[in-house]
Chains A and B, each alone.
Chain A
């Protein structure tokens, strides 16, 4: 099935409601962009280069961490959140929480970026990337292999020091360290900035969700 999403988007709604095995099996395709299937007649490898998207509630009732409304026990919440294991979370670049919308904000005029403008920005960023990876095997920032990260995601002295701090304080794994760098590269591209600046790194760090960030 994951091979069907090759070069596309794999979206899994209500991620924790999926079987744990199903979620865990995504580790290989997310990391290697291919999926291996072993059967009695042999082992096959299919391409599986997709953008992985998932959506979930913070707890079975959906209100956590609003203690006055949430009716789940601490154990329930923990069990629910732990269905997304650390290694899977490690492979997810951008995590964002969507708070409950209020009726006032619905009625207010929208002030955010419109989809049309967003499209233009993304187009520019993609052109930048196209130019950057002209004579390489890569297409997007996400493709960069570990050995080439220092070339394409070059950091100046200040930024390197900040990144070292982020690595220490957020207890990043080596994998997520590289992923933060690649996300920062993309944010910089969207900003049409040649170099990755501090603000890009900080924004990338903001989007990384480490395990255990919910209250005990």
Chain B
């Protein structure tokens, strides 16, 4: 089975961010190709996901190498083999600072067509620089998307063509698109890319084994737009989101009535809307926090990919919401399937990240002369020394450069996970009546609400009082302490197929369950 996911626009990129974290917790399919579509290439959300995707792929490749470091097939950690193109982001309009006028060759159009364009787009929209996205103007985005070709030579579209070819060859192929229904890139890209994919499928006469799914995000956040210096600027206006959504839903209702584009659509919204503290028009400064509803979209995608998901011939539309109260709980997170418990896996990943970042990662970092003080401790002897011992040089090679790279990369990844969950919890509920207490983050993270790039600052070191709060890290009834983790890593059974650092990483991950 082949799986493909496309995140369109800022929301799509953020949906992918959640999905990557869920995949590192073992909730994903065995393989997945991931790509993003955004005209705003420098967008902070897209860049963040792009970096995360590369980290995931690097770390997974390092820890799933049968000859050196292997977590083994049974391990849930980094289970999904995520691949992507050399550049994971597809820019619909290439070239420096394109405008709509240039894209549609406005000056070369016949006068009557020019007149039609003048009716559809005002002068500002026609001259708007599109290098930072479509600024919540789906009418611009739609024209721009349709003006671009989706040929087989394009690295992004070639993946879609390959997918459809694979389906024709008898392999089951699933493609999933995440996007917002409001805004610019997402709203214009979702229907157009989906319809284009469907068109290719029809052109290639593929009638079975190919499934298309999508997650549509209804408005789930807003922000205050500053009064100064905004005159004449095109940007996403939160007060227009609901009207845009209404129009878009009417469009989709008609589209779905007459044409079966999607096999399954997952629709998510949020009320009350999360309030983003910082407004940025686009570019690298638009670095919005991860929000809880996007996790729904990501889990919808994983449910779609799951082998237990039976897809009917009818188009299915699913919607999901949290419980009625103002409290967002672990029980509001749906399971991917009957056998994949999202809460269990995510909480295990969070505990793993904490323990690795502050407890075990630092112990494994540095040269052998620094690390060797642990050589007689059972966990080290059993999980590290034995598996990184070179019988030729008669040395434990944990301090070697290539091993230290993995140790450091895993620490960075752990910090990303802790930042992600802390930021999501804070940013979804800040300035609203809602409460989210999935984890307790106060003791290890400092929140800087006024900055957009480093909202969450993780502490460099933890005091013993901070460490003792580990049992409260995840708000569940497990009461798992760091002592239990230490005990678990000394007793958990090692899989015979595991190699190198894969042994320690998997055992620590498995130790984070009771």
A binds B: no
